[in-house]
Structures are given as structure tokens and as C-alpha cells.
Structure 1
Amino acid sequence: MEAGSIFAEHYQLLKLIGEGSFGNVWLAKDLRADLAVAIKIYVMLDERGVKEFMDEFKLTFNLNHTHILHAYHYDVFAKQPFLVMPYCEKGSALSLIGNISEEQLWHFLADVSAGLAYLHGQRPNPIVHQDIKPDNILIGKDGTFLVTDFGISQQMRSTLRRNSSRTPSAGSTAYMPPERFLSKPASTSAGDIWSLGVTLVELATGELPFCGMGGNMQNGGAELPILPTLSEELQTIVYSCLAKTPNERPTAEKLSEWCHEHFSSKDSDNKDATTPSGKSRKDNTVRNRKPDATGGGKSGKPGDGSNRTAAASRLIKRYWITATIIAVVATTACCWFCTKSNDKVDSGSIPLSANCEALLLGAYTCKQINRDKTVNRKMVAEIKKTGDEEYTLSIISSDFRTTLSTFHRLPDGDFESEKYGKGSAIYNPELRIMTLTFEKQGVKLELFK
């Protein structure tokens, strides 16, 4: 097929706008209706595959929600199933990767979570998307976000893959949750939430987390990505979506609730402030909310998902408590450093005594000064003794990222760290600041009890 050709007798293909392992998406003109449409043309299937595809389409035909893109026509031409959908001229969320404000990100999360809550809440057969990623989220004319390419079961995907001569795309691997890489892969609504978390990270930072290897890296112990440009509130939500264990992730309905609370809080803080489509977005979120596939929800009634919702709530509270403690401690330390030290740390300092365990061990507020003179103040640190002249240094930053290093004290009073190399330690009794300096890495740590 090529641009300009006629497909299924009355669709003129104008432009190829998407390619995948199972088919292509074209901008086309419906010659009968004189209307621009999007057509997704799947790979050629045998008679059994066509029937299977038709049966699945029947399950989604009557779905109707503000934040899902509904296909209004299904047919088969030359053994190729195809779907006809509204054409979204603004394209997909791919265009927003690395170029989206936090306000837009909140609206994205609100719209997509509302759409997923509707799909996951279908009875008796909840619909699990299984392929949430930026190019499957389209942008409507009014700027709202629409979930598309849903309703294809794992069995149907296997059928499409079996009939396709194309090389499977590795692009979706980056969005697959940890449980999809286990010996018995699981596809659940919680997997959609993990994929949504990855999508949020990619939109916010312009980069895929976990080196684009998906949940398999998390299974191997990979740490969560750093999100310095996001507020603590949004960071906490993203991290809860990326929880390794499925039942620790929030449901789509819970995410939708949090977004509604966020917008309500902003409105109460500033009733005169307006945002594009703000009220209609919140109204849609509330109006379209349905119970999540887990059976849990705002009502708190018992259900299959009550434990999951409770676990997610505990996770959120834990993050906020930790963030608050770190913020308070770090702010206090910063003020103390600014008013007391005034860059006089080295003045009056003495080498750390070889037997001064009382000064060395314990918890500290921490300031890190890098080679390029940049300073990170929102940190706490702890030094523990783990062996004969062996210690561990743990540093926790405000984004909950932990840096752990083992080091040894040398006979001359200096230190050798596996992470930072050789360093020296001095103590200023007047300011009560211990300073560890690692020349090779150009890092200086100022620790204050």
C-alpha cells in the first residue's frame, strides 16, 4: 500500500502516520462521507484469526468515555482486519516527550487514569490495555488526552504475531512491568499502571527509565529514576506507579482521585486562577469514574483491590513522611551552614583523630560540593562501622535515592572509598562539621550532627 491508493473501495490513503508489529495507521479520506479519518490496517489473518479479531471487537464496540478513542467501524478487506477511527490532527503524546510542563503532566495523568479506570472497571470482563506508551495516547482537538489501541487480548496479540512476517518491535519492552518478565508472565491492570509510570518519566525527562529495558531491570535491582524537575507531590505518585510489586501500585481510579484532589486544592488556593479546560477536565474525571477492576475504590468497601489500595496509600504516606523529614532536616542544615559557616569550614579544622569513633559514627545532615562547584544541600547521611577499620556511608537525597559506599580508614588518618577513591577527613570543633574530601572525584562532603 502506498499514499494515493484506494483501500476497501472507498478509503483513499493519504499519509502513513504510524507503524507497528501488527499493522500500520494511515490518514485517509472517506470518499463517501468526504471526511478525514484514521485507519488502522492489521496484518493479513486466516479465517480463524479474522473471527477471533471480530469477536474481540464486539467486546469494545459499545465502550464510550471522554478519554478513550473509540473505533466506530470494523471491517475486513483482503483478509486484513481494519478499524476506522476519528483522526486526531494533533498527533500523539510522542510530540511532548521532554517538552511538557508539570501542569500539562497533571492533565495527562488525570485524563489517562480516568480512561484506564473506565477500561479496568468493565464487567464482567475488565479490559487490560497491555501497551500504554506515548504513541498510544492521542491528543484531541481540545487538548485532552485519549487512550487508544486497547481491547486486544494477549491471545489475540499472539495470533497477530504468529501471522505477521515483521520483526517484532522492541519499543514496547521499555514499558513492560516487572511481572511480564517472570517465568509465568502476568498481564493485569496493575501492569498498565507501571507502564503509565514509565510514560510519565519519559514525558518529564525526555529519557526512558531503566535504560529502556523495562521492568526486567527493576527485577535485577535497578534504582528508580531521579526526577528533579517534578514537585514532590508528583514525584511520589510516579514512584508509587513504578512500585516493583503489583499490589503496591495505586489503581487507575485512585490515580484519578488524586488528580481531582490536586486540581481541587489548586482551585481552593486561588479561585481566580484559570487553566485550559480545567473545570471540564475535573468534571469529566468525576463523572466518568467507575470502580476499578480490582473492586476497590473511594468508598473503601471490601473488594479484591482493597489490599492494593491500602498498600498504595501506605506507600504514598511513607513517601510524604520521608520527604517532609528530609526537607525539614535539610532546610535546617542549610540555614545553619549559611549563618554559621560562611565558607569557614576549613578554618580551625584539624585532622580527624584515628580513634575518634564518637565523631565518625552516626547520622548527619549532609552537603555535597562537586568539582564544578554545584552544591546539593537536601541530603542526610549515616556512617556505620561494619568491620575492622571498615565503614559504610549512606547518603539519602530528597528524591529518596540512596548512595551507598564502603570505605576503609588508612593508618595516616585518610580514607579509601570504593566509590570516591582516596580522601581525607578533618573536623572543625567550633562549627561541629566533619568534612570528607575526595580529590580524585572532586567531591567534598560536609557532615553536621
Structure 2
Amino acid sequence: MEQLSGKRFPTNPKDYKIYEEVGEGVSATVYRALCIPLNEIVAIKVLDLEKCNNDLDGIRREVQTMSLINHPNLVRAHCSFAADQSLWVVMPYMAEGSCLHIMKTAYPDGFEEPVIATLLREVLKALVYLHGHGHIHRDVKAGNILVDINGAVKLADFGVSACMFDTGDRQRSRNTFVGTPCWMAPEVMQQLHGYDFKADIWSFGITALELAHGHAPFSKYPPMKVLLMTLQNAPPGLDYERDKRFSKSFKELVGACLVKDPKKRPSSEKLLKHPFFKHARTNDYLARTILDGLSPLGQRFRVLKVWF
């Protein structure tokens, strides 16, 4: 039982009324729920401990990370507790779901540039905070960028995030193989010299392409083929012919992130100063554009489950 935020959220499953499913992963399901004593709608991530019995350390790390972070662009857990064979993590409910859900429902060919700039700026703010506190997110992608009803953007899912300040000493690099292949940096795949914060910058660049096209590069290929293509091919990017609708500064931003040598990639802090972000708008702009007319998240999730 663990209480993680100022407001006292109960740690008894009976104090929550579970509504519809709004997300799922390999070993976790996310539900919309009502916290009865506080009369507040929340999201509850239910992790099946039997399905992830080999990764209890990873789960503890995720919950620990979610409890320590405090930034407007990161999802922070309210509390967590064990219930039967599962771990419940109670979080704020981001009513519009992920950018991936929004694209699959209404923008299959990707978003317009001002929308992309706004989303990416908010994600970068989250990465600046995480990197500054010694964390690598390790799974930056559209499916982990959540949007609230008012257009607020938060980066979620620290299922694979690593702390580089473990035991007080800064560990220069990690050697564990985690993340989603399409978004994975070459140095993470190679497992030769480990990796650091710059792995998130590669994933950020891939996410930029995903938001621009509605899907990640190589997404139609099986994982092993993705690994080979990422390691052997030139880095993906915005094509000057096919992607005429996008600005030169957007193409340059993507190009700066998708460099195979991690030392040549900019830091999240430096990227935030890139001229591309002059195109970024307010959260309210997101609410008026991409969120306008979307059906409720649970309904969209049911439809997507049937389609995909």
C-alpha cells in the first residue's frame, strides 16, 4: 500500500467503481473508474502480477518513478496497492486517450504541423524534467502521449523507464533491451556500449514522424526486420518530395534527432530551443482542433479493439 500524492486516495479496491476499459498492454489493463469517497473520476492501471512475475523489479521501478515525479507534462500516480493477484495504480484520468488512439480514430494520415509542434513541445518539457532527474523514459511514442479534455498533454507509462542515479551513483549507461522496436534507438538494439538519455531523443524523432504520417516508420514489418532495417538502413526522415506540406524547420528537427551516433544528437534541453517550436500553439488550440467531435474514449477503444 502506497500513497503517492497530496490528496488522500483510498487503497481499498472496494472504494472504487470500475467502469469501461480504456487501454491495455501485455500485462496490464487500464480502466476508467470512480473513486467513491472523493467522487472523482480516475484511471486505474491493473497489472496482472502472474503475467509479469519475472518483472516485479520493473513494476516497482515504474511505481517508484511515478510517485517521485512532479511535472505538469508527466502522469503522476495518486496511489498504488495490491489486490488479489494484481497491482492497482490509481492515476488521473486523461479523457481523450493517447495520440495513437486519436490518430487511428480521426487522423489516419497524421496531424497538421501546428498540432505536431504543440504535442512535441509538451513531450520535450517532460523529457527535460526526466533527464534532469536522471531518468530515461525508454518508451516515447504516440501511444504514451495522453491528452486531457482541455488539451493538456502528458507523457505516460514508465513501464520501462530507468533511473540513471541508482544507489546515488550516476550509471553512465544502461545495457538492458527494452522499448518498442519501431521507436528503439540503434544503440539500444546493438547492446554494445549501453545507452543513455540520447536514446529518448531517437524515439522522440520517430514519434515526430509517427505524428506526421499516422504511423511509425517500418511499422508494417515484424520486429526482427525492424531491428535489421534500423541498424542497416539510413535513418528515416521527412521526404522533401512526399512531405512538401511540412516546413524546413520540422525536417531539420527530425534530422537532428535521427542520427545514428547518439553523441551527435541534441539534448532535450537544446531541442526545446529549436525554431520549429515557434509553430507550437496552446493546449486550448488542441482542444479546438484534434479533440473536437471525438466520441468518448471507452467507445473509441472498443471500436479500435475490433479493427486492430
Q: What TM-score do you get using the length of structure 2 for normalisation?
A: 0.70
* CA pair 48-218 structure 1, distance change in 2 beyond 3 A: closer
Give the SS at the match of 1:149.
coil
Q: Deviations along 1:385-441, whole A, 9 cap, x unmatched?
A: xxxxxxxxxxxxxxxxxxxxxxxxxxxxxxxxxxxxxxxxxxxxxxxxxxxxxxxxx
C-alpha contact 1:50 1:79 (8 A) present in aligned 2: no
Question: C-alpha displacement at 1:171, in angstroms?
Answer: 9.1
Q: How does 1:273-288 map to 2 (within 5 A)?
A: 275-277=281-283
Q: How does 1:349-388 map to 2 (within 5 A)?
A: none
* CA pair 51-75 structure 1, distance change in 2 beyond 3 A: farther
- Given residue 231 of structure 2, which amino acid in structure 1 is its aligned partner? N
Question: C-alpha displacement at 1:231, in angstroms?
Answer: 0.4
Q: How does 1:167-178 map to 2 (within 5 A)?
A: 172-178=180-186
Which aligned segments of 4 or more residues in structure 1 are displaced greater than 6 angstroms? 46-49
Give the SS at the match of 2:201.
helix
* CA pair 51-115 structure 1, distance change in 2 beyond 3 A: closer
C-alpha contact 1:74 1:81 (8 A) present in aligned 2: yes
Q: Deviations along 1:24-75, whole A, 9 cap, x unmatched?
A: 1111122222221101111215999657744653344232112111111111
Q: Which one of the candidate residues 242, 249, 261 is aligned to 1:233?
A: 249
Q: Deviations along 1:123-177, whole A, 9 cap, x unmatched?
A: xxx111111111110012331321011264469xxxxxxxxxxxxxx99221111
* CA pair 153-196 structure 1, distance change in 2 beyond 3 A: closer
* CA pair 49-230 structure 1, distance change in 2 beyond 3 A: closer
Q: How does 1:82-93 map to 2 (within 5 A)?
A: 82-93=88-99
Q: Which one of the candidate residues 130, 137, 148 is aligned to 1:129?
A: 137
Q: Matches of 2:123 and 2:206 in 1, distance apart?
A: 13
Give the SS at the match of 2:180.
helix
- Given residue 57 of structure 1, which amino acid in structure 2 is its aligned partner? V
Q: How does 1:204-223 map to 2 (within 5 A)?
A: 204-212=212-220, 214=226, 216-223=228-235
Q: Which one of the candidate residues 145, 149, 154 is aligned to 1:146?
A: 154
Q: Which one of the candidate residues 237, 242, 252 is aligned to 2:268?
A: 252
Identical-residue share of aligned pairs (%):
28
* CA pair 47-207 structure 1, distance change in 2 beyond 3 A: closer
Q: Which one of the candidate residues 202, 208, 211 is aligned to 1:194?
A: 202
- Given residue 20 of structure 1, which amino acid in structure 2 is its aligned partner? G
Structure 2: gaps spanning 5 or more residues: 1-11, 164-177, 286-308
Give the SS at the match of 1:191.
helix
Q: Which one of the candidate residues 60, 63, 71 is aligned to 1:65?
A: 71
Q: Identify the structure with the greater strand proportion.
A: 1
What is the number of equivalent residue pairs in this alignment? 246
Question: C-alpha displacement at 1:99, in angstroms?
Answer: 3.6
Q: Which one of the candidate residues 5, 8, 33 is aligned to 2:13?
A: 8
- Given residue 76 of structure 2, which amino acid in structure 1 is its aligned partner? H
Question: C-alpha displacement at 1:23, in angstroms?
Answer: 0.9
Q: What TM-score do you get using the length of structure 1 for normalisation?
A: 0.49
Larger Rg: 1
Q: How does 1:20-169 map to 2 (within 5 A)?
A: 20-44=25-49, 53-54=59-60, 57-94=63-100, 95-96=102-103, 98-122=109-133, 126-150=134-158, 152-153=160-161
Structure 1: gaps spanning 5 or more residues: 1-6, 156-169, 268-274, 280-449
Q: Matches of 1:117 and 1:191 in 2, distance apart?
A: 13
- Given residue 255 of structure 1, which amino acid in structure 2 is its aligned partner? L
Question: C-alpha displacement at 1:12, in angstroms?
Answer: 2.1
Higher relative contact order (CA 8 A, sep 6+): 2
C-alpha contact 2:258 2:265 (8 A) present in aligned 1: yes
C-alpha contact 2:210 2:216 (8 A) present in aligned 1: yes
C-alpha contact 2:65 2:158 (8 A) present in aligned 1: no
Q: Could you say which residue in structure 2 is the equivalent of 1:224?
A: 236
